[in-house]
Structure 1
Amino acid sequence: MTKFLQKHAIAYFFMLPAILFLILLLLVPIINVFINSLFESNLLTPGKEKFVGLDNFISTFQDPLFWTAIKNSIVYTFGSVGGEYVVGLTTAILLNQQIKGRAIFRGIMIIPWVVPIVVAGMTWRWMLNPDYGIINVLLMNAGVIEQGINWLGSESTAMFSVIWVNVWRSFPFYTISFLAVLQTINKNELEAAEIDGANIFQKFWNITFPKLKGISMILIVLHLIWTFNNFDFIWILTEGGPLNATETLAINTYKEAFMKYHYGTASAISVLMMSILLVMMSIYFWLQNKQAKVGG
């Protein structure tokens, strides 16, 4: 053990600042959240915390809004990830073709990913405005609709609109990842399959898609985690409205902590969110290890 420490002491010495930073930035706040979830506390009355054990969790489970937030989180997460996957895979296949100006299209495609979230969110709010938004103008000029739709202000369209904006924002990440794999596929395999009489769909399903399964699973699990925990886009677009139609667990936590000042309840919801995210992360690492073994 002594020899090991002597051999690696310099490495651990240089790692120490990063380790301390991670402990202060992540571990300490997480421990505080767990502790605060066991207390009844209000930001307006600091110093008057009261230990309540699991009461915050019980009251959370009894709150109908909590279950609404879970339902919205599931719809938002799976709707976004499914849309991102389909759009990302489609654009990757198109951009992998030998077309004129392919480099330009690839550059344009990355724009949604690099635009700051606040800028993108505010721009989409203007575009989806029921009175002067460009989306309604284009649809009315095309004869698709007769009058402007309140995309973000109607319960029937708010969640769809938020999901669409998130798909627009995130699909380039899928496109880049899929495109990197598509460019490694041996074209001789595709040509041989075509000579054997395989059509375009058979070539995709039997040759291309199997090679995308590994990256697909990793992307899906990663984005399930990121999207489930997403706050910024929904808050910028709808703030969880209308009538809680787009209120996810992340939005619910923010409102409990910084609008209702129920810090203990917000901490309890955060603990439940972390538990769900830990499950998702476990799935991700399991898939990663499985993929590594297959690759090895």
Structure 2
Amino acid sequence: MVTRKRSSLKQDEMVARLVSLPAVLTVVLLVAIPFAIIVIQSFREVGFGTLLGTGFVGLTNYVQTIANPFFRRSIAITLVFSVCTVAFTYVIGFYSAVFLNDQQRFKKLIFALCLLPWAMPLVPTGLIWRWMLHRNYGVLNWLVFQVGLSSGMLDWFGDRTLAMISIIASTVWRQYPIGLLMIYAAIQTIPQDYFDVGRVAGVNKRQEIRHIIFPGVLSVSSMLVIVQLLDSFRAVTTIFVLTGGGPLRATETLALYTFIEAFEFYNFDRAAAAGVLTLFIIMSIVVGARRLLRRTI
């Protein structure tokens, strides 16, 4: 009897390994091997037609990357972009989830419309925002002029501050549905008794959000902040379509810096070093954010 149970357990274990094998192979082929190649490239001199480089150069690529003023500036730009994106995404997603939770009619329709920006491809999203913010033909400039907020047409892609605002706004517009989805799901897990007791006690909506909803979604909020932080660090497509890193590389984030270094300047070795450095920066920030959120929660 014991032998049969052991044989059955071994068979189940073998089946489990076979079932998980495609996922493991996918991770190895698409993540582990490319990452290993990038790390090797960062220590070698890499040119066209040489995947692993022609010679070992030690830390030269890292020294040159860190010494590059555009790389150091891209760190500051990325931090500003990430903090603003995560903050606005969370706030808009949170209050959108609260609003949606209170709706009784057309909830499914509103929910589908709110998720639409997230479902759109990145390149069309960037092109839509580029036309909306066009200096001469953009609808936003027309609205600003009609309302009287500006006497002339705003150059959204020629001014550094406006260019940064444009990439933050477009990114928040596309990513806030993730926050809406996660926080709305978390609100559904809060016991209805809490809301009933609050209504009996006469709490208003502001007090309900502060004392019932917000504490109830804190654990999900910590995960959401980390996910949004990772997304903001790897954002490159929409920024490239909108501003291309301009004006004068004022919106060039770390991901875009690495992309330009590799595919415009063809410095594959220094781009690999920048990618590895970016990974360490992201890991440091995520670890710090997790510790801070654990203390808060």
Q: Deviations over 1:198-251 (max 9, x none)?
A: 333222211111001011000001111121111111111111111111001111
- Structure 2 residue aligned with 1:184: 189
Match of 2:118 among 113, 118, 141: 113
Other-structure match for 1:96: 101
- Determine helix, strand or coil for the equivalent of 1:96: helix
Residue 70 (str. 1) matches residue 75 (str. 2): yes
Q: Is the 8 A contact 1:130 1:148 kept in 2?
A: yes
Matched letter for residue 131 of structure 1: N
Deviation at residue 62 of structure 1 after TM alignment: 1.0
1:147 matched to 2:149 = no
Q: CA deviation at 1:173?
A: 1.1
Report which stretch shifted further, 136-145 or 47-56.
47-56
Check the 8 A contact 2:41/2:52 in 1, yes or no: no
Q: Which residue of 1 aligns with 2:3?
A: none
Q: Which runs of 5+ in 2 are unaligned?
A: 1-5
Percent of counterpart pairs with the same letter? Answer: 33
Amino acid at match of 1:196: A
AA partner of residue 162 (structure 1): I
1:268 and 2:246 aligned: no
CA pair 48-146 structure 1, distance change in 2 beyond 3 A: same
Structure 2 counterparts to residues 30-179 of structure 1, below 5 A: 30-43=35-48, 49-98=54-103, 100-179=105-184
Separation of aligned partners in 2, 1:17 and 1:197: 55
Tell whether 2:246 aligns with 1:241: yes
Pick from 23, 26, 38 the counterpart of residue 28 of structure 2.
Answer: 23
Consecutive unaligned residues in structure 1, runs of 5 or more: none
Q: What amino acid does structure 2 have at the position aligned with 1:134? A: V
Q: Does the aligned pair in 2 maintain the 1:221–1:283 contact within 8 Å? A: no
Q: Over residues 17-56 of structure 1, what are the superposed CA-to-partner deviations in whole Å (9 max), with x where a residue is unaligned?
A: 3322321221111111111101122338889723210011
Instruction: State the TM-score, normalizing by the size of structure 2.
Output: 0.88
Distance 1:176 1:249 in 2: 28
Is 2:43–2:61's contact at 8 Å kept on the other side of the alignment? yes
Q: How many residues align?
A: 290
After superposition, give the CA deviation of every residue in 1:67-86 in whole Å (9 maximum; x if it has no partner).
11001111111111111001
Q: Secondary structure at the match of 1:78?
A: helix
